[in-house]
């Protein structure tokens, strides 16, 4: 019978690495399940009739629910979300405060994507001045993204940002408003609104999980191989020493 003696330190190192690799694989499986639930909720709620703004404000889980708004835009406090790509082209997303008259609340409406090919020139957009009726849906970002401080969105408007917390904007403007952005559906006030619900689908998370588990398997096989291989070399070396052979 071959004897398996990998050594104490290699065994401890392998155990730590295996725990990390398996943990990462399980985490990716969990993320894949979360994304499946997210996409299922999005598909279900996007076919439902829009609710009024006051009702949405009272919901514990407003994510992806459609909403009907009636009021006007505030074009003086526009926000431009930078580093947004469409078909390989650089651009921004335009967000503007919208005052809903029936509820009396402010909403941060994402009007869609605009190209910005030349950064030496300002982004060109128009703001409707008339009362408008809009259909939109509430976007609640999965997890917790990096958010800018309230004092980081001062200065000249429109602000060019990489992320925004609607609550901080309402605090700065001293207004009562909904704590998430709402994404506009196609209509007279929209630009390009082919929204992606999530940047990474469940299939990618499954692919990453397979990679982590494959690395764990490869590490286990190497551990077993060298455990037996090193023992055979050590045994062979000891036999040469005892017989006096070089």
Flag whether 237 is in a domain: yes
Do 93 and 20 have their domain in common? no
**Burial zone of 144 (CB within 10 Å; 0-12 exposed, 13-18 middle, 19+ buried):** exposed
Cα 65 from Cα 61, distance rounded (Å) = 9
Do 177 and 83 have their domain in common? yes
Cα 31 from Cα 63, distance rounded (Å) = 18
Flag whether 160 is in a domain: yes
Flag whether 191 is in a domain: no
Do 141 and 174 have their domain in common? yes
For 88-110, give one letter per residue: b (16+ CB within 10 A) or e. Answer: eeebbbbbbbbbbeebebbbbbb
Do 172 and 76 have their domain in common? yes
In the chain, the number of structural domains is 2
Do 230 and 144 have their domain in common? no
**17 within 8 A of 217, measured Cβ to Cβ:** no
User: Domain limits at 105?
Assistant: 65-184
Lookup: tokens for 185? 């559906």
**69 within 8 A of 136, measured Cβ to Cβ:** yes
Flag whether 56 is in a domain: no
Do 151 and 213 have their domain in common? no
End-to-end Cα, the chain, rounded Å: 27
Flag whether 168 is in a domain: yes
Q: Find, among 127, 123, 124, 100, the residue nearest to 111 by Cα.
A: 127
Do 127 and 227 have their domain in common? no
Helix axes 8-45, 202-243, angle to 10 degrees: 170
Do 159 and 224 have their domain in common? no
- List residues bridging with 52 in a β-sheet: 68
pLDDT (tens, 9 = 90+) of the chain, 246 residues, equals 557 677 788 888 899 999 999 999 999 999 888 888 777 777 777 777 888 888 888 888 888 889 999 999 999 999 999 988 888 899 999 999 999 999 999 999 999 999 998 888 989 999 999 999 999 999 887 655 444 443 444 567 899 988 888 988 999 999 999 999 999 999 889 999 988 776 677 888 889 999 999 999 999 988 888 877 765 555 555 555 445 544
Do 123 and 91 have their domain in common? yes
Flag whether 227 is in a domain: yes
Do 124 and 85 have their domain in common? yes
Flag whether 43 is in a domain: no
Please give the backbone phi and psi of residue 83, each rounded to the nearest 5 degrees, phi first: 60, 45
Do 94 and 165 have their domain in common? yes
Flag whether 42 is in a domain: no
């Amino acid at each position: 019978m071959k004897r398996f003696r990998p050594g104490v330190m290699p065994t401890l190192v392998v155990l730590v690495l295996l725990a990390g690799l398996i943990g990462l694989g399980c985490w990716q499986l969990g993320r894949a399940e979360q994304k499946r639930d997210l996409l299922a909720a999005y598909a279900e709620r996007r076919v439902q009739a829009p609710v009024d703004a006051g009702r949405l404000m009272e919901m514990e889980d407003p994510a992806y629910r459609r909403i009907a708004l009636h009021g006007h835009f505030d074009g003086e406090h526009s926000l431009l979300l930078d580093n947004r790509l469409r078909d390989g082209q650089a651009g921004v997303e335009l967000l503007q405060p919208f005052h809903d008259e029936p509820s009396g609340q402010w909403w941060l409406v994402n009007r869609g994507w605009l190209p910005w090919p030349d950064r030496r020139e300002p982004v060109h957009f128009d703001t409707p001045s008339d009362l408008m009726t809009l259909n939109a849906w509430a976007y609640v970002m999965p997890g917790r993204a990096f958010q800018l401080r309230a004092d980081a969105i001062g200065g000249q408007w429109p602000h060019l940002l990489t992320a925004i917390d609607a609550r901080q904007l309402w605090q700065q403007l001293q207004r009562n408003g909904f704590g998430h952005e709402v994404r506009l559906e196609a209509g007279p006030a929209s630009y390009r609104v082919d929204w992606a619900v999530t940047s990474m689908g469940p299939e990618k998370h499954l692919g990453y999980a397979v990679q982590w588990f494959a690395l764990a398997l490869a590490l286990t096989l190497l551990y077993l191989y060298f455990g037996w291989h090193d023992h055979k070399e050590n045994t062979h070396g000891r036999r040469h020493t005892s017989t006096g052979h070089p």
